[in-house]
Amino acid sequence: MKKLKDYKKKLIKEIVGFVQKGKDMMPKMEGIMKKIKTEIPIFFSTDDNYIPCLSVAIHSLEENSSSENNYRIIILHTGMSLKGKAEIKKFETDNVKISFQNISHITTKLTKDLALRLRDYYSETIYYRMFIPSMFPEYEKAIYLDADIVLQDDVAKLYNLDLGDKLIAGVTDQVINSVPEFRVYSKEGLGIEPKKYFNSGVLVMNLREMRKSKIEEKFLYRLLNYNLDTAAPDQDYLNTLCKDRVLYLPETWNKMPDFGEKVDANEIHLIHYNMYRKPWHYEDVPYSESFWKYAKETKYYEELKETLANYPEEAKKQDLVAGDKLVEYTKQIVKQKFKFADIEDDDLEYDTDEDQSTMEETNELA
């Protein structure tokens, strides 16, 4: 195993310490800490370009929320405009509050390493969730959601799950399991059985256990020491780092329109418009009615409809090509001499719990 250079070891300690001390750089929250612990924290990562879609996601969350719960939406970003923040803040209600956290003081130290393996439509925002455990020590558990989702049920049901000592609760990724080459990539490239590979766009994060198991430090170690080729950057890291400590949720809590089993729309709790075919780009996306139902009740409806009407044919061709390229890319990674599956352990002295090798699935949310 390659040894981590001294300057990189120092950088890991510096970044982790900087994150943990980052609260000193955030807006002070004295007087509400006791209250905030009773709230349901929900994290999104985004930039100004995704504000219309984020607005639809937040609106759907609110429409399915309960007056019995308090919801704290926290937007992680590295430079949202004041105008963008103001538009998102308009969604606040009596029991849904929205705040913003600029994490550029962390990511600027890692810009080169974070960006090195990005491809297609990915941006550095996908990595922001990795820093939640240490940035928000007041929370023991939190929800993370991608911005390209629509909720059809109360997200509090996810939050109220008993995770025990599992690190993550999530849904098996149906894209991985729908493509033979992706299944090979998961098993041989990552060392994870395809049915155990989860999608990172909808997560219940056991922040207490993630801090205890030093997941962030291990992520930084692997990023700085290896920075391996990866098909789904943050998702592959999370799957390998949380291996065998995952609570698997029903597919209806992260339903991908073009993949997996056909499900009646009324039985779906959360729709995730992942991959290339977005309802604001393509007319025939399954379950797109739900997206437009909520979009119509936001100020961005006409803008999104215009985006749909004007999505160029060339872009659609590029989407198809990107899908084919991803398949070929995973085949190349599997052939590499050193990949995620070959990492035996992190060369750091961490106390971690023993692996729990059984695949446990909860029926609590079925």
Evaluate whether residue 36 is within a structural domain: yes
Give me the pLDDT at residue 365, please.
72
Task: Residue 247: give its domain's CATH number.
Answer: 3.90.550.10
What is the overall mean pLDDT for the chain?
A: 84
Q: What is the biggest distance separating any 2 CA atoms in the chain, rounded to whole angstroms?
A: 55
Can you tell me the distance from the alpha carbon of 231 to that of 240, in angstroms, rounded to the nearest whole number?
Answer: 13
Can you tell me the distance from the alpha carbon of 254 to that of 256, in angstroms, rounded to the nearest whole number?
Answer: 6
Are the C-beta atoms of 176 and 198 separated by less than 8 Å? no
Three-state DSSP class for residue 108: coil
Can you tell me the distance from the alpha carbon of 37 to that of 140, in angstroms, rounded to the nearest whole number?
Answer: 9
Burial of 128 (0-12, 13-18, 19+ CB in 10 A): buried
- With residue 76 as reference, give the H or E element that holds it: strand 71-77
Phi, psi (rounded to 5 degrees) for 359: -85, 105
Can you tell me the distance from the alpha carbon of 101 to that of 74, in angstroms, rounded to the nearest whole number?
Answer: 7
| pLDDT tens per residue, range 127-149 | 788 889 989 999 999 999 999 99
| pLDDT tens per residue, range 270-291 | 999 999 999 999 999 999 999 9
pLDDT of 331 higher than 60:
yes
| pLDDT tens per residue, range 33-54 | 444 436 899 999 988 999 999 9
| pLDDT tens per residue, range 336-355 | 999 988 887 655 544 444 44
Evaluate whether residue 359 is within a structural domain: no
Evaluate whether residue 323 is within a structural domain: yes
Compute the average pLDDT of residues 41-68: 95
Evaluate whether residue 199 is within a structural domain: yes
Give me the pLDDT at residue 27, please.
46
Evaluate whether residue 355 is within a structural domain: no
Evaluate whether residue 366 is within a structural domain: no
Can you tell me the distance from the alpha carbon of 166 to that of 206, in angstroms, rounded to the nearest whole number?
Answer: 7
Evaluate whether residue 277 is within a structural domain: yes
pLDDT of 304 higher than 50:
yes
- With residue 88 as reference, give the H or E element that holds it: helix 82-89
Q: Please list, in sequence order, all residues whose beta carbon lies within 8 angstroms of the beta carbon of residue 351, skipping any fewer than 6 positions away.
A: none
